[in-house]
Amino acid sequence: MQISTKEVISLIGLTSVIFLIAPLFLILYVLSYNRRKKKHKEDTVTMQKNFETELLRTQMEVQEQTLKTVAYDLHDNIGQLLSLTTITLSSVNISDTEGTAEKLALVEDLTMRSIKEVKALSRLLHGEEIVSRGLAAAIDFELQWLRRSDRFKITYNHDQEVLNLDNIKETILFRLFQEIINNIIQHAKATEINIDLKQTDGSCILQITDNGTGFNVDEALSRKSGMGLHNIVKRSAMIQGTADINSTPAKGSTITIKIPQHN
């Protein structure tokens, strides 16, 4: 069967077009791939910068909360102890030997208590040092100050095993704990707070429950006043975790944060 000249020309033309288009598609694919690769790299750098910024903000908030605790304790506790010491000293009557001895003994006791409180505050000032003791110990140390107010019945349960989290996750999780406790103190009108810290199935779980007034979670998250809740969700996600917020008006609240122990 003989192929006509016209068919040969058509075949040559089609082949030429294919050979011209194929490299063009290849070039376009390579350019598109490079653009995607460059964008991915830029997105990765941006995410890393955002993470570092958020981590720095979190660390500063830990320190800020620590300084607030120091300020409150200086005013409400150590200041009161020193005022009592001054009043007791000013009431000493040297001619009353027995009364003077009792008052000096009281002054000595007040002074020793003040020294003890100042030492405790000096430890508290090093927020990162607290977290470096381990998350369980850091939470327990923070709760010591809350117990002294006698406003809440506090229950704290934690696993005896070492919780295997890196320093970044521990710092952020500790700040989340502080933020949740602050919300309870300021808004919940609670009398009981239960804290559970445990590890299970390769995750660290922090659960905080109160018997306060509660709230509508959806409404709170939709309002600007719910920024504290948004921060809890966002910072949990930042370390590959989740935050489950459950609350019912007049029935208290439970916040459960679950963080994987390994990336």
pLDDT in tens, the chain (263 residues): 556 677 767 777 777 777 778 777 888 888 888 888 888 887 777 777 777 777 777 767 766 766 666 666 676 667 777 777 887 787 778 787 777 888 888 888 878 877 877 776 666 665 555 566 788 888 888 888 788 777 899 999 997 665 677 878 888 898 899 889 988 988 889 999 999 999 888 899 999 999 999 999 988 888 766 668 888 998 898 888 999 999 999 899 999 999 998 76
Domains, the chain, ordered by start: 152-263 (3.30.565.10)
Name the pTM for this structure: 0.63
Q: What is the DSSP letter of 239?
A: T
φ, ψ of residue 240 to 5 degrees: the values are 60, 25
Q: Is the CB of residue 133 less than 8 Å from the CB of residue 219?
A: no
Q: How far apart are CA 212 and CA 181, in angstroms?
A: 12
DSSP assignment of 42-80 equals: HHHHHHHHHHHHHHHHHHHHHHHHHHHHHHHHIIIIIHH
